[in-house]
Amino acid sequence: MASLAFSGSSILNPHKAFLSAPNTSPLIRCNNLSESLKCKDNGKPIVIGRDSYGRAEAAALPSFLTTPDQFLDKISAPKSDTRLRIFSGTANPSLSQEIACYMGLDLGKIKIKRFADGEIYVQLQESVRGCDVYLVYMNSLNNLKTSDTQGRESIAAKLVANLITEAGADRVLSCDLHSGQSIGYFDIPVDHVHGQPVILDYLASKKICSDDLVVVSPDVGGVARARAFAKKLSDAPLAIVDKRRQGHNIAEVMNLIGDVRGKVAVMVDDMIDTAGTIAKGAALLHQEGAREVYACSTHAVFSPPAIERLSSGLFQEVIITNTIPVAEQNYFPQLTILSVANLLGETIWRVHDDCAGGFEPYSSLDID
């Protein structure tokens, strides 16, 4: 039996990006925008059109999954494979259900409960003998130490990698690791998917004039990510917030590198925790004359006081994905949630079928 551990807050195979920047048009354009969940008005997510199988309709798929003449037959019909099973943990069952719906499968039957002392009881309620089993769950690998920078520090990411491997996983699929070197901690194959192309597709639908756009890295460490993101948005210019961190979860903005005056600034990061970094960066951008500020991130950790900072009026829109579920009481008017279920579901099919089929570049943002 082959098994795969999927981490909703962390791991695909970087090659090329899947959203091409227009060469001549002054607008950033969109091809078949996809977001299974999008927050509007008060931030409450609404489910867009589904087909008769409960999956997102083909017209709503991301542009990178609706490339002409590439696997449309596979996407347009439910895929039945009796050897494939999808099971969900307790952390993000809604995303698990979306992935299963996209793949035309039912979630595997599983019983999970906690005893009074906190011990977890798990029982599979169907046979998985001879099956490829994919477990969808969320872990905190992004928030763990990945290197020893000050001496005598534990490297918890390696411990988690060992735990996953020793538990019996044969392969790991994860989304947007905070530190790419975490892949090296695993002794099993790792597929690292980037969720940002889903955000790119959404931004493209807004048709912001490319001359008015600037992509901003909230710190020096995120420059490579922001630069790759900017290349896919009509090769937009890049600005960098120079930040000096006084301690964990405490950030102080010192300077801005680049010109944002009169521009629509798009801040890009892999995750938002307390939102201190991105909020102080947005305040600096407004001081420097930015017309509008957008915040884009794959993982919404949203530790207090993140909601207060993000809803304070600094941002025109806060765009995240559903790799981490956001409690309804934390919705706010500027929040938009995009679903990565189609991306992950298609990735699982390609891993299961051992077939990239000429479509392997969907996994990357061309970060170099």
DSSP letters for 119-153: -EEEEE-S--TT-EEEEEE---GGGS--S-SSSS-
DSSP, residue by residue, 66-111: --TTSSHHHHHS----TTEEEEE-SS-HHHHHHHHHHHT-PPPPEE
What's the confidence (pLDDT) of residue 353? 84
Judge contact between 43 and 208, C-beta under 8 A: no
Confidence of residue 73 (pLDDT cuts 50, 70, 90): very low
What's the confidence (pLDDT) of residue 14? 27
Residue range 240-249: mean pLDDT, rounded: 76
Q: Which contiguous run of DSSP H or E holds residue 198?
A: helix 196-205
Give me the chain's average pLDDT, please: 77
What's the confidence (pLDDT) of residue 155? 82
Q: Which contiguous run of DSSP H or E holds residue 239?
A: strand 238-247
For 328, other C-beta atoms within 10 Å of its C-beta total 10
Beta-carbon contacts of 305 under 8 Å, excluding residues fewer than 6 positions away, are: 274, 275
What's the confidence (pLDDT) of residue 228? 92
Instruction: Pick the closest to residue 135 from 174, 182, 192, 187 (CA basis).
Output: 174
In three state form, how does the secondary structure of 151-178 look? CCCCCHHHHHHHHHHHCCCCEEEEECCC
In angstroms and rounded to an integer, the radius of gyration of the C-alpha atoms of the chain is: 20
Q: Is the pLDDT of residue 257 over 80?
A: yes
Judge contact between 10 and 185, C-beta under 8 A: no
Distance from CA of residue 279 to its chain's centroid? 20
Q: Can you tell me the distance from the alpha carbon of 224 to that of 229, in angstroms, rounded to the nearest whole number?
A: 9
179's tokens: 């530190």
Q: Can you tell me the distance from the alpha carbon of 314 to that of 331, in angstroms, rounded to the nearest whole number?
A: 16
Q: What percent of the chain has pLDDT over 90?
A: 52
Pairing relation of β-strands 213-217 and 238-247? parallel
Instruction: Pick the closest to residue 134 from 241, 42, 8 (CA basis).
Output: 8
Lowest mean pLDDT, pick from 7-16, 146-155, 260-269 = 7-16
Peptide bond into 305 cis (omega under 30): yes
Confidence of residue 207 (pLDDT cuts 50, 70, 90): confident
What's the confidence (pLDDT) of residue 34? 36
Instruction: Pick the closest to residue 342 from 219, 213, 175 (CA basis).
Output: 175
**pLDDT digit string (tens) for 265-324?**
999 999 999 999 999 999 999 999 999 999 999 999 999 999 999 999 999 999 999 999
- pLDDT: is 55 or 336 the higher one? 336
Q: What percent of the chain has pLDDT over 70?
A: 69
Confidence of residue 234 (pLDDT cuts 50, 70, 90): confident
What's the confidence (pLDDT) of residue 16? 28
